[in-house]
Amino acid sequence: MNAIIFGAPGSGKGTYASRLKTKLEIEVISMGDIFRDIMKKETDFGKKVKKYVEKGQLVPDEMVISVLKKNLTQIPSGKGVILDGYPRTIPQAETLQEIANIDVILLQNVPDWIIIERLSSRRICINCSEVYNIRFLKPKIENVQRPDDTAEVIKERIQLYQKMTSPIIDYYKEKNTPFVISEITSLNTPPEQIVEKILEELKILNLT
């Protein structure tokens, strides 16, 4: 099964994808994680990516597509994948259509207020990069806030999502790609609850 987990920044895509990876025994390509690793290496490419990310802007299509293609070639033949953070624009979706068959879209619908609360409360350990939350999972050692997790930048990221990425929903609907839609209305909804509902819907679609 090849799936795209789709939703605004902070909608929980990475959390759900990591759990689905274990339960479905498939791979996950997280573009956010990949680009953060690229930025750490301080290469010319990484520095270019960093300029976009810290401003809450989308990385240009040609850069994103080249990274995706490289990572897709590393997945064992015949093994499924969940794409997290790709595609974010129509050109990216069109390129994906040429190189992979997508069986289902996992769409996370989350109100803006939950996204802002989640991301502005997130902290990263400066030593091991472990992710914490100052509301629910407070770190025991010194930690930092990602530059793109401030309220101002989060609002810009949501606006970019609505303007550039939301049309992809219509793109896949026109292609009659099945959707599994998760409606998250509470800040305290356990991830396991959402994942189980997703698995139930995938079973109904005969994808598991």
**Helix/strand/coil percentages in the chain, nearest 5:** 50, 15, 35
Q: What is the pTM of this model?
A: 0.80
Q: What is the pLDDT of residue 131?
A: 55
In tens, the pLDDT along 172-191 reads 999 999 999 999 888 888 88
Residue 150: predicted pLDDT: 63
- Using the predicted structure, report yes or no on whether residue 148 has a pLDDT greater than 60: no
Q: What is the CA radius of gyration of the chain?
A: 17
pLDDT at residue 143 above 80?
no
What confidence tier does 6 reach under pLDDT thresholds 50, 70, 90? confident
> What mean pLDDT is predicted for residues 9-33?
90
Residue 125 has pLDDT above 60, yes or no: no
Q: What is the mean pLDDT of the chain?
A: 84
Q: Are 120 and 187 in contact (CB under 8 A)?
A: no
**What percent of the chain stands above pLDDT 90?**
42
Give me the residues paired with residue 27 across strands: 81
Amino acid code (one letter) for 173? K
Q: Please name which of 102, 103, 82 lies closest in space to residue 94, comparing C-alpha atoms.
A: 102
Candidates 3.40.50.620, 3.30.70.100, 3.20.20.370, 3.40.50.300; CATH matching 2-183: 3.40.50.300
Rounded CA separation 176/4 (Å): 14
Both structure tokens of 207: 């994808």
105's enclosing H/E stretch is: strand 104-109
